[in-house]
Amino acid sequence: MRGPISEGTTHYVRRQTGRFPVEGVDVTTVRLAAEEEAHLLEVERPAAVAVMLHTAYDQENRPLVCEEGVTPSHVFEQIDNYPMQ
């Protein structure tokens, strides 16, 4: 299995294509880990995982990068900051 792109996927795609991100959308869901995921994450099944699907869009609203990250529940944390009126 190959490792991640050291400069980051979005920077790599920008350097290769000249397209750059102007908007990102992250969708987070939770589910039980698949057998291979549990093995790679070193957790016992059944184990909950958070799945983040990140899509970056370019200046013409075309998808530029789409990445999925899987995080075991014991290390997942999400913080949202937002104004309240």
Mean pLDDT in residue range 13-26: 94
Q: Compute CA distances 40 → 24, 61, 73, whole Å.
A: 27, 34, 14
DSSP output for 21-65: EEEEEEEEEEEEPPHHHHHHHT-PSS-EEEEEEEEEEETTS-EEE
Whole-prediction pTM: 0.82
Q: How confident is the model at residue 3 (pLDDT cuts 50, 70, 90)?
A: confident
> Of 26, 81, 18, whose CA–CA distance to 56 is shortest?
26
> Of 42, 78, 56, whose CA–CA distance to 8 is shortest?
56
- Pairing, β 48-58 against β 63-72: antiparallel
Mean pLDDT in residue range 2-31: 91
Mean pLDDT in residue range 17-34: 96
